[in-house]
Copies of this chain bind each other. A is one copy, B any other.
């Protein structure tokens, strides 16, 4: 499920994001029992625990002792709610990184913080990047990476490429891990069971696999296996993550040297 920015009244949704709502004029009618904030918190809790696919208006309402429809008093639609969740979650990220040892360790630290963030809130990965939410914390996050990378001396064009690359890298790693964590509860089959059953079936259905796919067979060969009890895929991803990060940093360094 890809979620696009709410397409309702754009002015209203921007106002919600930037908290530029009118202050508390006294108005007739019952006191509000909820607020945008508690709704967003409840929605984040649901999405953290059960994933974006399981996030529904009814479920969020229920968690707050209301019907799903009650939320529409505070939020124009589910799309806007997701935007608000997204920008609120992003607030967890650090506003700046230590540059005293140069940009290299700072980028590494950024990547690790950001990966951890995505793993805490995997649903964030499903929010479309094509139509950015344009909330304050989205800009703050961007600000913090660019602040690091600008010290490399690269120009805006190059830097946009590097930033995109960094995000794609971290998001890709996070996506693999988070999907594999969600899969057991969604499918009722643990990772170990699944892989074992599948690789058995693969031999059955594709005899001569090693001859037909020699490169795949070779690259899957293990130099060192997962530690005791560590899930297979997560071990692979963390290996992959550190290798990829090193390659990336070297690539940036090459760009910097080239000017």
Contact = CB atoms under 8 A, between A and B. Distances in A.
Interface residues of A, number: 94
Interface stretch (A37-45, A108-116, A161-169): A161-169
A99 to B, nearest CB: 13
Interface in A1-52: 1-2, 4, 7, 10-11, 14-15, 17-18, 20
A156 B223 contact: yes
Contacts of A186: 4
Contact of A198 (B53, B134, B224, B240): B134
Nearest to A174: B168
Contacts of A237: 164
Q: Report which residue of A17, A160, A167 has the largest number of chain B beta carbons within 10 angstroms of its beta carbon.
A: A160
Interface in A147-179: 147, 150, 155-165, 167-169, 171-173, 175-179
A72 interface: no
A75 interface: no
Contact of A247 (B17, B161, B212): B161
Interface stretch (A60-68, A86-94, A124-132): A124-132
A189 B7 contact: yes
A69 interface: no
A219 B159 contact: yes
Contacts of A11: 201, 204
B10 A201 contact: yes
A188 interface: yes
A254 B253 contact: yes
Given A14-B198, A140-B213, 8 more contacts: A11-B201, A139-B213, A143-B216, A163-B219, A164-B173, A168-B244, A251-B252, A251-B254
Which 6 pairs across A and B sit closest by C-beta, in order of nearness?
Answer: A161-B243, A168-B172, A251-B251, A1-B1, A130-B179, A250-B254
